[in-house]
């Protein structure tokens, strides 16, 4: 009965109800996008770190991996110490540098990694052959397009370039043996990889027995945090970063996004609340005589309150369902814009859809609809019956 009367009241003013639903849908879309933004990049970064199964990263003391040009000396000694811990299953030292490749009258540059192909976690080989020999190199599609090269081509790759004398240093002939997708690289960034000993030889003595990063995989059942504490005790010259530590540091750097998402989400929720409250209040004022008649024939105040609250909930629920679809579309568009920011890994998403985010937005909107109907419902139930009937008769 209550739902039927609420439905009849909303259908009676179709245009007003439709506009209110659309207004709530816009607010719902913004709310969903802000909930997704508040957690999306964090969860996306977490999935990125876990994608290759490495639990701990070692970086030069006081820095994040590849945050600076600092390196970790003594790779052999550090590897020996790490292997003494039975919880450490795999160790992958990574050496990073810049490269230069002369093509016609221009210079193509980017970042190159020196890795051990048997334990590397930096790229996924798409086609061709991995860096199984010291003269092999794999590259991403962006670099291959920049070079106009094909698998099997021999390239003159250098690790240094003097623009004044236009001379290259550390130059070596390498064969492009495969295409790779670099997991932590940006879409518009030239990237390549060779064996670590190859890059050490190209860099000369300055890069001998050095690494920019260690990636460590612990054995199944081991506690990564305990291993991290052990590493920092026995290797005080490095910063040991577990998944939890990395996420905490990312949270600190992304606090601006969370604050922005919270403010805009609160604003959108408040706008939806005001919109529903205004519509239901106007509807109650127009139906004051009708409500007075219902009260006069014995309809209880509780019945009136429930009917009015149901109207607010119906508007909020309909707007929320439409808004969730609209929010997903706008989130995809906004994510494409933000993900194009230079230097961001291609796997990072600002707006990551999670069922929990959708349920959170839906729950907040339903709660807002209930709250929006409270004041109009209380006003409708408190109308003086005799006075309302007299005004209706005079009108």
Q: What confidence tens digit (pLDDT) does each residue in 265-315 have?
A: 788 888 878 877 777 777 766 666 666 666 666 666 676 667 777 777 787
Contact 127, 205 (CB under 8 A): no
Residue 35 and residue 78 share a domain: no
* CA-to-CA dists, residue 223 to 55, 65, 87, 214, angstroms: 10, 22, 8, 18
Residue 216 and residue 188 share a domain: yes
User: What does the pLDDT look like over 342-384, one tens digit per residue?
Assistant: 556 666 677 777 777 777 777 877 787 777 777 777 766 666 6
Residue 70 and residue 213 share a domain: yes
Residue 73 in any domain: the answer is: yes
Residue 181 and residue 100 share a domain: yes
The tokens describing 66, both together, are: 């590849």
Residue 54 in any domain: the answer is: no
Range of the domain at 303: 2-49+254-394
Predicted pLDDT at 272: 79
Q: What is the mean pLDDT of residues 120-137?
A: 92
Q: Where are the beta strands (DSSP E) in 209-308?
A: 210-211, 213-218, 238-242
Note the pTM of the prediction, 2 decimals. Answer: 0.67
Residue 106 and residue 167 share a domain: yes
Residue 262 and residue 222 share a domain: no
Q: What are all long-range contacts of 298-304, with beta carbons under 8 Å and residues at least 24 apart?
A: 301/381, 302/381, 303/1, 303/2, 304/377, 304/380, 304/381
* CA-to-CA dists, residue 121 to 94, 117, 181, angstroms: 9, 9, 11
Residue 186 in any domain: the answer is: yes
Q: What is the mean pLDDT of residues 155-161?
A: 89
Residue 33 in any domain: the answer is: yes
Instruction: Give the CA count within 13 Å in the CB-facing half-sphere of 327.
Output: 30
Task: Give the chain's domain count.
Answer: 2
Residue 212 and residue 68 share a domain: yes
């Amino acid at each position: 009965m209550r739902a039927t009367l609420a439905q009849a009241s909303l259908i009676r003013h179709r245009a007003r109800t439709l506009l209110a639903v659309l207004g709530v849908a816009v607010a719902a879309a913004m709310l969903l996008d802000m909930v997704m933004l508040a957690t999306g990049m964090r969860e996306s970064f977490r999935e990125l770190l876990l994608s290759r199964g490495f639990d701990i990263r070692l970086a030069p003391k006081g820095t994040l991996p590849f945050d600076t040009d600092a390196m970790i000396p003594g790779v052999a000694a550090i590897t020996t110490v790490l292997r003494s811990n039975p919880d450490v299953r795999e160790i992958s030292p990574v050496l990073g540098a810049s490269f230069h490749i002369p093509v016609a009258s221009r210079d193509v540059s980017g970042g190159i990694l020196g890795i051990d192909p048997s334990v590397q976690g930096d790229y996924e080989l798409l086609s061709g052959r991995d860096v199984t020999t010291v003269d092999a190199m794999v590259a991403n599609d962006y670099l291959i397009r920049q070079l106009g090269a094909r698998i099997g081509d021999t390239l003159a790759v250098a690790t240094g370039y003097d623009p004044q004398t236009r001379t290259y240093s550390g130059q070596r002939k390498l064969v492009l043996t495969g295409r790779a997708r670099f997991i932590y690289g940006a879409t518009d960034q030239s990237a390549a990889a060779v064996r670590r000993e190859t890059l050490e030889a190209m860099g000369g003595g300055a890069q001998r027995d050095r690494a920019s990063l260690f990636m460590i995989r612990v054995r199944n059942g081991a506690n990564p945090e305990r291993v991290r504490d052990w590493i920092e005790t026995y290797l005080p010259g490095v910063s040991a970063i577990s998944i939890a530590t990395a996420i905490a540091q990312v949270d600190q750097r992304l606090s601006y996004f969370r604050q922005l998402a919270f403010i805009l989400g609160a604003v959108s929720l408040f706008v939806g609340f005001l919109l529903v409250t205004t519509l239901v209040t106007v509807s109650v004022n127009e139906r004051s005589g009708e409500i007075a008649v219902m009260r006069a024939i014995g309809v209880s105040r509780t019945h009136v309150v429930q009917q009015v609250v149901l109207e607010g909930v119906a508007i909020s629920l309909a707007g929320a369902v439409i808004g969730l679809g609209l929010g997903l579309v706008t989130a995809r568009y906004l994510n494409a814009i933000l993900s194009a920011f230079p230097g961001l890994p291609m796997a990072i998403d600002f707006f990551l859809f999670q069922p929990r985010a959708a349920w959170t937005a839906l729950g907040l909107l339903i709660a807002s609809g209930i709250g929006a109907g409270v004041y109009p419902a209380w006003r409708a139930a408190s109308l003086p019956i005799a006075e309302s009937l007299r005004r209706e008769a005079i009108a």
